[in-house]
Structure formats: C-alpha cells, structure tokens
C-alpha cells in the first residue's frame, strides 16, 4: 500500500503500475476539501517513488466521481473575490500535480465523471471508459465554470469549438459520443475496463504509445492561427448570447476566459481560469443557481423518503376526464411505466385525450428518445373508456373533470363507491378547496389534491394538497407517484388557490392596477420578460392561461381573502372576459393571435384591447422599469412570505421551487425568497412601504419587518 485514507487508496497493481482508487465512505465519490488534501498527499508520494512506471485512476463505486461537493464550498464563496482566487488555485494545483507525474497516466471511467470528476480524468494522458460512462462539465448550470483546469485542458484535447460547446452548455455525453469527439480514447464493456486500462498503460510504458506528446499538447497554447481564433471565439460569443442572454454570465465568461488563455501555456491559462471562477462565484446568478440545485435535491430527497415510507404501491392509475389535460396526465403516467385508465363521458373527449398522448409520443420518437416499439407499448398501457367500471381495479384516481365544485363532488362520490377501500382518490383542481371536495367522501383520509400544471409534459411541478383529514400515508403515496411520473412534487396545505395560484393572483392584481393607472400592458410585458426575466409577461401569461379561467379564479380568491384580494374595480381581466376575449383559446385577449409558419400561436398588438382599457382608466402614463417590476413583484413576494408564515408551504426552498417549476420564475433569481434575500429584506421592506398606499397586497407582514430589522434572511448559509 502506497497511501490510504477515507476517500482514496493507492497501491501497486502490477510491476511499477499504481492503481489510484477513489472510494469515499459515502454512496458516491466527490471532491471535498479533505479528498483534495488526500490527493495532494498521495500524489506527492507518487512523485517521489523511484519505482513508479505508470498510474491508473479507478473508482470503487458505480460512478467515477460525480463532481465537487458544492455544499462544502458555499461558505467559502462568501469570502471576498481576492481571497477566493488563492483558494481555487490551491485546488487546481492538485490537478496540475496529477498531470505532472513523471510517468504515463490513464483514467478508467465508469458511470458518471462530471465536473471536477471529469476534470480529474483530463489530467490523465489517456481516458478509457466503459459503456456506462457519462462525462461532462456541468458547472455552467450552477452559474460557474470549470475551476480545476477543465477550461484549459478540454479545448486543448478536443479543440476550441468543441471545448467551448461542452463548457457553455453543460451537457453530458455518453461514452460513444465522447469517443467520437475525442474526449476519451477508447470504450469497452464494463467487465473489460480494468484490463483495457492495464493493457494501455503497459503499451505507454513500453513506448508503443507516445504519451509525452499527448501530454505536451495540454501544456501549450491552443493551436489556432489568428483568423481561426477570431472566427471560433466570435461564433461562440454569438451563440452564447443568443442562448444564455445577459442574465446568465457564466457561459460568456467561460468563452472570454478560454479566448484570453488561447495564447498562454498551462500556468497562465489556469491562472486566468482561477480568476474567472472566483469572479463568477461572487455573482447573484451563481448564488441563485446553486440554491436551485440544493433546493431541487431537497425536493428529490423528500420524494425518495416518501417512496420508502409509502404503504400503498401504485401499480395502475385512472384519470377521470380526458381532453388536453387528462390526456397529458395519462401520457405522463404511461410513459413512466404506470398503466392508466382514461375515462370520460364523451367519445370526442377520449379521442382528444388519446390524440394528445399520441402527439406527445410522436415527438419523443422524432427526437429519438423513444422507438416505435416503445411508443406502441405506452399507447397500449392507456385504456380509453366510457365505462366507470374500468376504474374499479386501479390504485389511484386522478379526477380531472371540469373546474366546478358540484360536478367534481358528484364524480368523487361516485368513484369512491367503485374503487377498493385502500385506493387513493385525488383531484386535479387549481383553486377549489380540498376540504370542501372531501366533504363528498365517506373516507376523506384517502383524498388529497394533485394539481398538475399545463402543459403537463413540460411543467415539472405537481402540488400535492393536504386536506385537514388527509392521512400521511395518502400524502406519501401521492408524492411517490408524482415523482415516479417524473415530476417534482411539493406538499402544500389547503387554502384558496393553494400555493402557486394564491401567490400568482396578487401578481396579476398588481399588474391590473398598473394598467388602470395608465401603463401600456405591452411595455409591462417587455420589462417583466426582458429585464426581470419571466418567460411571459403578465398580460401574455393571462392570455395563455385563459382570461375566462383567470376571471373565474378571481371569485375564489376574493371569497378567500376579501380584504387583500377583493375584486379590482374595472379590472382589465374582467373587461377582456366580458368582451369575450379569452386569450389564445379564441384568438383575442390582450393581444390578437394568429398562427406562424410552424402552426404555433403568434401574438400581435390589437387596437381593440387598447380601446377597451382606455374606457376603464388612464392611458399613456410612463412608468420606469423599476416601478413596473416593484408594482408587480412586491405583491407576489408578500404573498409567498405569508404562505411560508402560515405553513401553507413547508420551507423557503419549496416555496421558491414551486414558482420556478410551476410558473417559470426566472431561475437566475433563484425564486421569490432568494430574490428578496439578494436585494436585502430591509431594502424590500422599504420598497414595499413606498407602494403601501396602493393596498394590502403591498403591505408587508410584521414578521417580515422584524426579520428586516434584525438582518435575518430566508437562506442562512
């Protein structure tokens, strides 16, 4: 044994050939400070070993190394930028130490080698992978760039264009794709991985492979002439700006760093990478995106826990009510392996539901994510029917009929009489109280809400709404089923609008008051999209949701929160509804809609909507971008805080992810509560106070004011 610690072992495998094995105590290998220190100690011993002829890097796990332990680095990122640079340099020096071993080195990759894990393999002279390998540099998804030399080595191995594409998109590659691009040197069956690595290292030791030449190319400047460099980097910058935009700085910083380092040797290039990494680590985008990653892990962790404790195994499901929504739910369930009965009272609705499922499956086939046999299998596992008898044998029912409490209540009552006593019953409702619907059932303990978002196949969120009588066993089973469907379930407690819609309507109310005060709704949309970062501004979103749907939901919200969410006089939403302008569904709303060349809805300005609004309030008043953002966002953030204080949602993490997954809240802002932390609660309170005269939706809670006064945050590091 040459070296042994809790994370790595280094021992001779054959004559002069050392096996450097990553095998941490936990379920996966990852780089934390202790592992880096262990690597440094082991490498120093290898550098001093006169008998050493070659090194093979392996893993004792099913994955090589999944990346750096980002949770450990969060506190470090709070340091000033000038202090971060020597910290990251200390880490990247370990990778240089690995690359500088005086003997040939080979990384034997199985499973995931991502981020720092893939960067470690790039220090080796050769990389051999088995067919299970997945490699990549996903740091950009955390608002960062590679920090252990990846932006230096990968472009020198596969070329500048390929290296920049890998780094700026963060996409992982399978073994064959990575081989084709030159990122790895060989692919073998899993059982042959170690033998292949051993054979390759022996060939390198014997001089059959020119490992010195291969290594030298990583230590030198990029092989690009001035014209090639100009074309390569300008093209990359254009593509990054088009795809990432101004709100995500990491991809552009990565390109600019690679460009600046193109004429430098490894030492100079890595120094630039160190500085750029430290710069990005201090951005609000990185804090937000890292926060999203950790919040997502929390939600996934809760879903896994629910799956372990759930006493009801969901083997077959039923969706009551076909159409677009029902078809989407049935498709998602069947696609993920849970057969489903799709029941409706009309053949036309069943045809629509099956048509929706077939359309979505055809897209999967077109994108080569599914073959014809797989598609046929999914279609066969969806059973369209007019008979309620087909529902008898299912384990869970998702009621998705029209949003009418009387109709839903009658359907729920009927289905309870049919299904087994331990079958779970849920309602896909967006606003109707779960407790009021539960009154129709003899056993409300097996009933809860299961609110999907449209379009079902694209929106990750499912709100699992717990009623006052819902059992924990029911909640656990529904959370597990939603996760199995590929969704991100968040458990919320019952209240008008539940969580997502409850906080959305104050946002709409803020928008309505802004328009009545004379703002141009199109300008409001532009500011909320281009400046704040929403995928759709409020007027456009209302058109997509349906102004008739939004109008009817205002009744529910006004009844639930009469002082805070009472109906707005001359509400633009009501004006559009009364004029039968329902949005995209009938071609006119705030905007007029037509079809583009691909058949997708295209929005245009419509003079009629402006004429309607002119009769209701002021027109032609100019508002600054800051005013527009504040008047829309303060009401939403206030309501999110109230939901957290009232226990409607369990944590700041789930509150933020609910809006990111359910509404498309700008990810680079991290969610409404992360955004409040970023601007500072004291600043948020001062901003809200500026508009407090506009109504209760702008007035902060006493607890928020106390948090601001004490310097508290929603996300302590």
Element (DSSP H or E) covering residue 660: helix 652-663
End-to-end CA distance of the chain: 40
Rounded to the nearest 5 percent, the helix, strand and coil shares of the chain are 55, 15, 30
The alpha carbon of 387 is separated from its chain's Cα centroid by a whole number of angstroms, namely 39
Per the CB < 8 A criterion, the answer to whether 57 and 121 are in contact is yes
Distance, CA of 312 to CA of 336 (rounded, Å) = 18
Distance, CA of 134 to CA of 118 (rounded, Å) = 9
Q: Across the beta sheet with 54-59, what order do the strands follow?
A: 3-4, 8-14, 17-22, 54-59, 105-109, 126-130, 186-188
Q: Which stretches within 499-589 are classed as H helix? A: 500-516, 521-526, 538-545, 547-560, 572-578
DSSP assignment of 198-265 equals HHHHHHHHTTSS-HHHHHHHHHS-----HHHHHHHHHHHHHHHHHHH-TT-HHHHHHHHHHHHHTTS-
Cross-strand bridge partners of residue 383 = 341
Marked catalytic residue, from 47, 247, 451, 552: 451
Q: Up-side HSE of residue 468: CA atoms within 13 Å toward CB?
A: 6
Residue 451 annotated among the catalytic residues of the structure: yes
Per the CB < 8 A criterion, the answer to whether 447 and 644 are in contact is no
Per the CB < 8 A criterion, the answer to whether 497 and 431 are in contact is yes
Contacts 24+ apart (CB under 8 A), 191-197: 192/130, 193/108, 193/109, 193/110, 193/128, 193/129, 193/130, 194/56, 194/58, 194/108, 196/108, 196/128, 197/56, 197/58, 197/106, 197/108, 197/128
Distance, CA of 300 to CA of 285 (rounded, Å) = 22
Q: Up-side HSE of residue 8: CA atoms within 13 Å toward CB?
A: 27
Active site residues: 451
């Amino acid at each position: 044994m040459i070296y042994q610690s809790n994370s790595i072992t280094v021992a001779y495998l054959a004559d002069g050939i050392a096996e450097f094995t990553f095998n941490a105590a936990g379920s996966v290998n990852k780089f934390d400070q202790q592992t880096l220190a262990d690597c440094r100690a082991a490498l120093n011993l290898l550098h001093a070993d006169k008998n050493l002829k070659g090194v093979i890097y392996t893993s004792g796990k099913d994955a090589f190394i999944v990346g750096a332990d980002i949770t450990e680095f969060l506190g470090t990122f709070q340091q000033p930028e000038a202090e971060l640079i020597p910290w990251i340099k200390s880490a990247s020096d370990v990778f240089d130490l690995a690359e500088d071993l005086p003997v040939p080195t080979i990384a034997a990759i199985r499973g995931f080698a991502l981020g720092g894990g893939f960067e470690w393999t790039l220090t080796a002279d050769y990389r051999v992978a088995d067919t299970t390998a997945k490699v990549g540099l996903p740091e950009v998804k955390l608002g960062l760039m590679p920090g252990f030399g990846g932006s230096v080595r990968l472009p020198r191995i596969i070329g500048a264009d390929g290296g920049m594409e890998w780094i700026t998109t963060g996409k992982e590659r399978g073994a064959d794709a990575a081989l084709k691009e030159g990122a790895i040197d060989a692919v073998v069956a899993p059982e042959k991985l170690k033998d292949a690595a051993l054979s390759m290292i022996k060939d390198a030791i014997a001089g059959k492979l020119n490992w010195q030449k291969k290594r030298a190319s990583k230590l030198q400047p990029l092989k690009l002439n001035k014209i090639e460099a100009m074309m390569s980097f300008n093209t990359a910058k254009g593509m990054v700006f088009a795809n990432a935009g101004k709100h995500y700085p990491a991809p552009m910083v990565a390109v600019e760093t690679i460009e600046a380092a193109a004429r430098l040797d490894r030492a100079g290039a890595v120094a630039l990478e160190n500085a750029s990494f430290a710069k990005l680590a201090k951005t609000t985008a990185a804090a937000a995106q890292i926060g999203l990653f950790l919040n997502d892990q929390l939600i996934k962790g809760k879903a896994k826990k629910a799956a372990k404790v759930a006493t009801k195994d969901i083997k077959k499901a039923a969706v009551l009510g076909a159409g677009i929504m029902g078809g989407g739910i049935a498709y998602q369930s069947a696609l993920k392996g849970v057969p489903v009965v799709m029941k409706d009272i009309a053949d036309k609705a069943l045809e629509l539901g099956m048509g929706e499922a077939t359309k979505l499956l055809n897209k999967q086939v077109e994108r080569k994510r599914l073959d014809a046999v797989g598609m046929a299998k999914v279609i066969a596992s969806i059973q369209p029917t007019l008979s309620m008898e087909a529902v008898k044998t299912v384990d869970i029912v998702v009621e998705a009929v029209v949003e009418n409490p009387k109709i839903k209540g009658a359907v729920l009552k009927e289905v309870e009489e049919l299904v087994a006593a331990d079958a779970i019953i849920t309602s896909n409702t967006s606003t109707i109280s779960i407790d009021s619907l539960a009154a129709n059932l003899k056993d409300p303990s097996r009933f809860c809400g299961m609110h999907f978002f449209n379009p079902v196949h694209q929106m990750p969120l499912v709100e699992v709404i717990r009623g006052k009588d819902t059992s924990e066993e029911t909640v656990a089973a529904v959370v597990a089923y939603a996760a199995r469907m590929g969704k991100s379930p968040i458990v919320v407690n019952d209240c008008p609008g539940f969580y997502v819609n409850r906080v959305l309507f104050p946002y709409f109310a803020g928008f309505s008051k802004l328009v009545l005060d004379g703002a141009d709704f199109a300008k409001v949309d532009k500011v909320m999209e281009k400046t704040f970062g929403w995928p759709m501004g409020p007027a456009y979103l209302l058109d997509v949701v349906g102004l008739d749907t939004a109008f009817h939901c205002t009744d529910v919200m006004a009844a639930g929160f009469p002082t805070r969410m009472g109906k707005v006089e001359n509400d633009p939403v009501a004006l559009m509804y009364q004029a039968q302008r329902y949005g995209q569904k009938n071609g006119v709303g705030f905007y007029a809609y037509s079809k583009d060349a691909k058949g997708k809805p295209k929005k245009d300005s419509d003079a009629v909507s402006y004429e309607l609004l002119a009769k209701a309030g002021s027109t032609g008043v100019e508002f600054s971008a800051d005013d527009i953002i504040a008047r829309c966002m303060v009401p939403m953030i206030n309501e999110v805080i109230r939901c957290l204080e009232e226990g409607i949602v369990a944590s700041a993490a789930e509150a933020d992810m609910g809006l990111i997954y359910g509404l498309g809240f700008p990810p680079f802002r991290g969610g409404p509560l992360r955004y409040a932390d970023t601007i500072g609660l004291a600043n948020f309170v001062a901003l809200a106070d500026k508009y407090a005269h506009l109504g209760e939706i702008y007035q902060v809670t006493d607890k928020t004011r106390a948090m601001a006064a004490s310097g508290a945050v929603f996300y302590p590091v």
